[in-house]
Structure 1
């Protein structure tokens, strides 16, 4: 599949999706922690054409991809435009296609705790919970809210303790884990508001 990352059955691959508008050290930090704490072989950044939950459109794709590759220059991380190539708009659509394209690959969805708070608003969020293990990473200001999130509450019995996080990629969904990691107080919104978004 030209333009798609290589992967083979049995590989453990974390998927970090988002508009990355712009990518920053917080994204890179979560990625490095995911590789280490979850025992992943690789992480793919899924730079999305646009976020359906955000009113404002993102910066041009080429600019966001270019910056993301500079921010996350790591031999085990692929910055991709998979969603653009697949023509998918929602995470569940992307995951369905990736699971079909890469049979036997153990995908893990990665997200910050701020996304867990609104996860129940995502299209087909329960399908995601039931089909892909999820690693949730602490984010400034969202740790307590995430613990009371609807998804966290409804799927509480499927939560893996953080000390067993390396088991997550091998778990049969639903399975998720909340990881308290040293937090980076930075966000894409703040960078845009400060006018520091430079491709």
Structure 2
């Protein structure tokens, strides 16, 4: 049964948000989460396990199955796995961020993503709103560094990029602000796990 509890945050805290279908969650997700906590000086990270990815035509595994798997993979005292998007009824990242900022006044949210997501950010709904209303922390993943740095989002918002050596300032910066950090990565992906038959939608 799905956990309907809302995550908790106090005003003044800096909370990283890592969204995705987590279909399934794996060691790579856990690794970039631990790196984000350290590199961006976050108080906590929430995994936003989405009902479905609007950019993918095929639906993911059932939400309760993905939630259970995510909790097995990510066990950390400062990380919360939540289905809050399903509770809020939001489908797109910008919608979710608007509601969270309204409901958690005084909390500073940082949107977290892999470099592959930065490369396609311009395909997201209201992506410019995201970049101008919340700091964005980008963690490099294998093979995606060049395409991410040359992406429309990276080029348009290049004046607002915080150097990697100052990454701990990101959560305190006024958006637009984003930071790209290179981290030792775990070469694992959800698509590879599904292709190997280690995860199914049933």
TM-score for both structures, normalised by structure 2: 0.96
- Match of 2:72? 70
Q: How far off is 1:3 after superposition?
A: 1.7
- Match of 1:190? 192
Matched residue SS, 2:47 = strand
User: 4+ runs of 1 displaced by more than 4 Å?
Assistant: none
Q: How far off is 1:23 after superposition?
A: 0.1
Q: State how far apart, in whole Å, the 2-side matches of 1:50 and 1:5 are.
A: 20
Q: State how far apart, in whole Å, the 2-side matches of 1:127 and 1:51 are.
A: 19
- Match of 1:128? 130
Runs of at least 5 residues in structure 1 that lack an aligned partner in the other structure:
none
Q: How far off is 1:197 after superposition?
A: 1.5
Matched residue SS, 2:15 = strand
Structural RMSD (CA): 1.0
Aligned mate of 1:82, from 58, 80, 84: 84
Deviation by residue 1:43-77 (Cα, 9 ceiling, x = unmatched): 00000000000011000001100000000011100
- Match of 1:55? 57
TM-score for both structures, normalised by structure 1: 0.98
Runs of at least 5 residues in structure 2 that lack an aligned partner in the other structure:
none
- Match of 1:45? 47
Q: State how far apart, in whole Å, the 2-side matches of 1:77 and 1:126 are.
A: 27
Matched residue SS, 1:56 = coil
Q: How far off is 1:101 after superposition?
A: 0.3
- Match of 2:139? 137
Q: How far off is 1:177 after superposition?
A: 0.2
Q: How far off is 1:6 after superposition?
A: 1.1
Q: How far off is 1:37 after superposition?
A: 0.7
- Match of 1:11? 13
- Match of 1:36? 38
How many residue pairs match? The answer is 198
Aligned mate of 2:174, from 156, 169, 172: 172
- Match of 1:106? 108
